[in-house]
Chain A
Amino acid sequence: MTSVRRTSLLAAAALSVAAFVAPAAAQVTLLNVSYDPTRELYVDFNAAFAAHWQQTSGQTITINQSHGGSGSQARAVIDGLDVDVVTLALEADINAIVNNSGKIAADWRTRLPNNSAPYTSTIVFLVRQGNPKNILDWGDLVRDDVEVITPNPKTSGGARWNFLAAWAWANREFGGDEAQVTDYVREVYAHVPVLDTAARGSTTTFVERGIGDVLLAWENEAFLALEELDPGAFEIVVPSISILAEPPVAVVDGNVDRRGTREAAQAYLEYLYTPEGQEIAAANFYRPSNTGGLPAEALERFPALDLITIDDPLFGGWAEAQPRFFADGGVFDQIYQ
């Protein structure tokens, strides 16, 4: 009986290995490594691009997706994940790949329009229906009765935008007194009962598990929860100030040249900037970077608000902000012990 079992196991192994390997050779495959909340966006976009690519080049293309905290994903690429394009949450994570693996050329930001950010987003509050805790702005997050859900800025890109948006509000509120700003942000994290490693985990904690009073969320993630996960259970609160998040994209030069996929990878990212790509982004609640040619109703859901950028002197761009706030022993490590 044992030998029968072993033989059939081996046969199963041989068969399934064959099944596993065979389809890869017949067509072009791309691997897009992205951050957490873009799953739905790229499911839609990949289907559209595959149809487009089939039409223009005649090739069948399969695009695989990998999602996780933006920092974690960058680490996986540095560690050798064989990826063609990265679509991450912030510039600093792509820079980490540039600096630690050399697989992306240093001038990557200039190779696509809008600093290689095909869509933008911002950070808003998601609260429970009727806003029972009456949370209106950043100052309300540190009230005694409020629990805040946000992920870990060390591993999540969205969490870093959350942190900086809170910092920007406090900076304005306290007239630039850094000690008070730091105290405020420390206080916010003292109200966090669950610090997930990525944005999706935080949304699950808030939406599915019912923990916390307010979720600091990507705007797109908040809309997704609002309109698709559990309609009628949540409300979006737009704070008085937030941050302009520019999630960038780049071709991983070292890998596409070796795999011979540069042409397809380049076309894939460029397609994001076309009206079709921009409309898919808007439909998935990302703010298009190029609104030309988009119907007005695709844009009307995005509220206008006061947005600070990472290049504001307060932060000095990612090259300065990343080590100052999020490196080992940086501001976040000091306030969150």
Chain B
Amino acid sequence: MAEATPPKHSARDVTTEGPVVRVVLIAIALAFAALVLILPLIVVFTEAFDGGLGTYFASLSQPDARSAIRLTLIVAAISVPANVVFGLAASWAIAKFEFWGKSFLTTLIDLPFSVSPVISGLVYVLLFGAQGIFGGWLDAHDIDIIFALPGIILATIFVTFPFVARELIPLMQEQGTEEEEAAVSLGASGWKTFLFVTLPNVKWALLYGVLLCNARAMGEFGAVSVVSGKIRGMTNTMPLQVEILYNEYNSTAAFALASLLALLALLTLALKTVLEWRFGDRITGANGH
């Protein structure tokens, strides 16, 4: 997907535009990218270092900031593996078997992508909030879900739900079932077949999915803000802490924390680009997705 054959430009080439048109289009594209994509990124780092390096590191070592970072890591460390397991199971079922209702199931898996993050949080409040369907029971048994870690994790799993599965399904479908069938006919167990035949074939796509899933899990704002309760030092994830600091006139500290998230985004992009360059054909099928 990343590297098509480079087009050959020459003065006589009838399948390209004149040099003036070309330069103008490139200028428009670069200007738009600079304005929409690059400038906001630069602002994050400029504002973060507004007070100098000392202020920057002091902001990041605040107890509330540290606990927000820790909470974000915990949430990602639980929700990403959960979605990896799901993604593998779903793609195994969908790609390796023919069954009734398969395309409907595939659509359902993509559903969380088209639901507003705010609704993703709202549904859990309606289920587990004190006024929700299970609220009374949970309260009687002293179980906290909303405004506590489980609620934040559930909301995060919801919004990152399709990421791994949708990378794996098209690739596994394209790879077909011959290799697995051969392994089974040679006497390998189902688990062995999965571990030694299927998994190596999809490992780069899996890593790609994990990368995207993780970026979203660590950065989710809307869904988490509905279920968090925003208790400083306890239920504030990094993006929520960014909002709180920002609303506290502490915009340097807000941008300092935001710069960590921006670094994570840049790292994600870099790894993703490397994966696409080196293993592009093994991440997506020939048709892309």
Residues of A within 8 A of B (CB): 1-2, 5-6, 9-10, 12-13, 16-17, 19-20, 31, 39, 64-68, 76, 78-82, 100-101, 198, 200-201, 203-204, 207-208, 229, 258
Contact = CB atoms under 8 A, between A and B. Distances in A.
Contacts of B129: 79-80
Contacts of B80: 9
A68 B70 contact: no
B130 interface: yes
Instruction: Name the prevailing secondary structure of the A interface residues.
Output: helix
Interface of B: 70-71, 73-74, 77-78, 80-81, 84, 125, 128-131, 135, 138-139, 142, 144, 146-149, 203, 206-207, 210, 229-234, 244, 246-249, 251
Contacts of B233: 64
B249 A80 contact: no
Contacts, number: 90
Contact of A82 (B81, B128, B147, B232): B147
A39 B248 contact: yes
Contact of B234 (A9, A64, A80, A204): A64
A81 B249 contact: no
Given A31-B231, A81-B147, A204-B249, 7 more contacts: A5-B207, A6-B84, A13-B78, A20-B74, A66-B232, A67-B230, A82-B147
A20 B248 contact: no
B232 A65 contact: yes
Nearest to A254: B139
Contacts of B149: 20
B229 A76 contact: yes
Contacts of A20: 70-71, 74, 149
Nearest to A6: B81
30 contacts: A2-B203, A2-B206, A2-B210, A6-B81, A6-B84, A12-B77, A13-B77, A16-B73, A16-B74, A16-B77, A20-B70, A31-B231, A39-B248, A66-B231, A66-B232, A67-B244, A68-B230, A76-B229, A79-B125, A79-B129, A79-B131, A79-B147, A80-B128, A80-B135, A80-B146, A80-B147, A82-B147, A101-B130, A204-B249, A229-B249
Nearest to A66: B231
A266 to B, nearest CB: 21
Nearest to A40: B248
A200 B77 contact: no
A42 to B, nearest CB: 10
